[in-house]
Amino acid sequence: MIPFLDLKGINAQYRQELSTAVSRVIDSGWYILGDELEQFEQEFAQYCQTAFCVGVANGLDALILILRAYKEMGVMEEGDEVIVPANTYIASILAISENKLKPILVEPDPETYNLNPAQIEQHITKRTKAILTVHLYGQVTCMDDIKAIAVQYNLKVIEDCAQAHGALYKGGKVGSIGDAAGFSFYPGKILGALGDAGAVTTSDAELATTIRAISNYGSHEKYKNLYKGVNSRLDEMQAALLRVKLSYLDKEIEYRRQVASYYLQRIANPLIKLPKVTAVEAHVWHLFVIRCHERNKLQDYLKSHGVQTVIHYPVPPHKQSAYEELNNFSYPVTEKIHEQVLSLPIGPCINLDDVGKVSDLVNDFFS
């Protein structure tokens, strides 16, 4: 079988170094808010070209805490509106509603699947306070257009970078392009921990300090609580493991690009729509997503030939029971994408022979 993602194989490559990191943490006797986290935060901020990185428990918390901090800072208040793509993983939208802010869903560009800047302005009202953009599947959103709108209407730009660690936009790293960014280090992401983990990057000192306090019971200083905070921290074990993985991130991204370019060259089937790349450095290929009108048949066919694929995502957020209030809204571009997408195997460990085999099978589909 060709697996969708070989997580065991990915981490096995670094077994020695990961084990050393684990031992170092065990022997330190210090497991929360220590040196490993401090080092990782510095290394990741440097990697993302930002002044600050704050480690948190997971990617959803990273986004929740950014918005929560903006509320504490008086930048926004309950009932304010946040623009977000309709075509995203539901976590982007959960972060907004969790803060009692109102998610305003906007259709994506049908080619890149990312937020379509041309669709944003018509949704802006007096209550709009931020644009939360998602670099979906690993490709950077068209940030110049989004930033221009944000400047014009005085909005914050928040990047959901959960799928796009290391992607570049005109020389700038994702995580440094907007005002703040949320990252996930869920094991299957481009930079994955061996458990849950996340981070916020920003160059706004007040925002970083506020998030740091809220994520630690609302406390800047032990036993003094300025906010009704939460406990959302990146522990020493995950920080130590992430430091190892971060040192290989660029190499892994290079390999993902090689796999993607192999698929792009080799797959040629009129029934299949391939992903559109805006610029080589702008895509880190968290997922290789193709489209097909007969998507379910294609998935069954690949499965019967030993190829595991995944659908990202089968049901759009506005059609979920959790968002009953949005169920009657119509987002035709988003709905069509959800009906047609299929993610082929990709990762830092897949061998190119298997990529060739998958491509040939896709080419033979229906022929």
Ligand X SMILES: *Cc1c(COP(=O)(O)O)cnc(C)c1O
Residue 134 sits in the site that holds ligand X (CB under 6 A): yes
CB atoms within 10 A of CB 272: 18
Residue 91 Cβ vs ligand X, minimum distance, rounded to whole Å:
3
Kindly report the backbone phi and psi dihedral angles of residue 253, in degrees, each rounded to the nearest multiple of 5, phi listed first.
-65, -40
| Pick 54 or 267: Cβ nearer ligand X | 54
Residue 52 sits in the site that holds ligand X (CB under 6 A): no
Kindly report the backbone phi and psi dihedral angles of residue 357, in degrees, each rounded to the nearest multiple of 5, phi listed first.
-60, -45
| Alpha carbon distance, N-terminus to C-terminus of the chain | 23
Residue 107 sits in the site that holds ligand X (CB under 6 A): no
Token readout for 84 is: 């977000």
Query: CB under 6 A: which stretch of 86-94, 116-124, 291-299, 324-332 binds ligand X?
Result: 86-94
Token readout for 191 is: 């930079």
One of 76, 150, 162, 289 touching ligand X (CB under 6 A): 162
Give CA–CA dist 11/140, Å, rounded. Answer: 26
Give CA–CA dist 134/85, Å, rounded. Answer: 7
List all residues 6 or more positions away from 111 whose beta carbon is below 8 Å from its beta carbon: 276
β-bridge partners, 200: 54, 182
Q: How many residues bind ligand X (CB under 6 A)?
A: 14
Residue 210 sits in the site that holds ligand X (CB under 6 A): no
Residue 60 sits in the site that holds ligand X (CB under 6 A): yes
| Pick 60 or 155: Cβ nearer ligand X | 60
Residue 91 sits in the site that holds ligand X (CB under 6 A): yes
Residue 134 Cβ vs ligand X, minimum distance, rounded to whole Å:
5
Tell me the residue nearest to ligand X as measured from the CB: 59
Burial class (CB in 10 A: 0-12, 13-18, 19+), 49: middle
Residue 232 Cβ vs ligand X, minimum distance, rounded to whole Å:
10
Token readout for 181 is: 């960014």
| Pick 313 or 365: Cβ nearer ligand X | 313
Q: Indicate left, alpha or beta for 365 from its phi (over 0: left) and psi (-120 to 50: alpha).
A: beta
Residue 99 sits in the site that holds ligand X (CB under 6 A): no
| Pick 25 or 234: Cβ nearer ligand X | 234
Q: Is 300 helix (H, G, I), strand (E, B) or coil?
A: helix
One of 109, 160, 179, 204 touching ligand X (CB under 6 A): 160
CA distances from 50 to 208, 212, 246, 317 (A): 11, 16, 16, 31
Residue 137 Cβ vs ligand X, minimum distance, rounded to whole Å:
9
Query: CB under 6 A: which stretch of 56-64, 244-252, 319-327, 337-345 binds ligand X?
Result: 56-64
Contacts with ligand X by CB under 6 A lie at 58-60, 88-89, 91-92, 134, 160, 162-163, 184, 186, 198
